[in-house]
């Protein structure tokens, strides 16, 4: 599978979940805090160009898709510059949508354009959270 095809496949679940209106009951404060910490830690790793650390926050499916931390970082740098180097970040309340924890994050890129970045989070067997998918839409800043 070509890299572009893999990237689209990886981020399609979050894009689909973003468009659905059927939200389940609220996310617990503990889960919301843990999910935010994972995303913030990955953003900090991108800011430090620490490919291994950034890759460590990816769910097993993403890790299998990209195989190496360097490939993963390269994809983010080239395909998602707003995630790689956001000028500003603002978290929206996370939601359960179709049994998936979805975290929306408003970001601004270096040029001042607004983006809505949607993360699909996946709970691991050890109860930690990892990023299973991500999609960014320019000009889609909205709140919940």
Section 94-112 average pLDDT: 97
Model confidence at 7, in pLDDT bands (50, 70, 90)?
very low
Half-sphere exposure of 96 (CA within 13 A, CB side): 9
Section 67-72 average pLDDT: 98
Section 2-25 average pLDDT: 47
Residue 143 has a pLDDT of: 54
pTM for the model stands at 0.82
Residue 25 has a pLDDT of: 73
Q: Six-digit token pair at 25?
A: 């009951």
| Residue 10: closest CA among 103, 105, 92, 75 | 75
């Amino acid at each position: 599978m070509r890299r572009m095809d893999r990237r689209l496949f990886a981020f399609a679940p979050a894009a689909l979940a973003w468009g659905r209106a059927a939200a389940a009951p609220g996310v617990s404060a503990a889960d919301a805090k843990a999910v935010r910490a994972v995303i913030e830690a990955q953003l900090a790793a991108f800011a430090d160009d620490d490919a291994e650390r950034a890759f460590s926050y990816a769910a097993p499916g993403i890790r299998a898709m990209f195989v190496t931390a360097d490939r993963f970082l390269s994809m983010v740098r080239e395909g998602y510059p707003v995630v790689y180097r956001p000028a500003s970040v603002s978290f929206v309340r996370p939601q359960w949508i179709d049994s998936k924890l979805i975290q929306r994050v408003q970001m601004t890129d270096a040029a001042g354009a607004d983006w809505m970045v949607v993360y699909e989070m996946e709970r691991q067997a050890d109860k930690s959270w990892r990023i299973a998918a991500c999609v960014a839409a320019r000009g889609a800043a909205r709140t919940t």
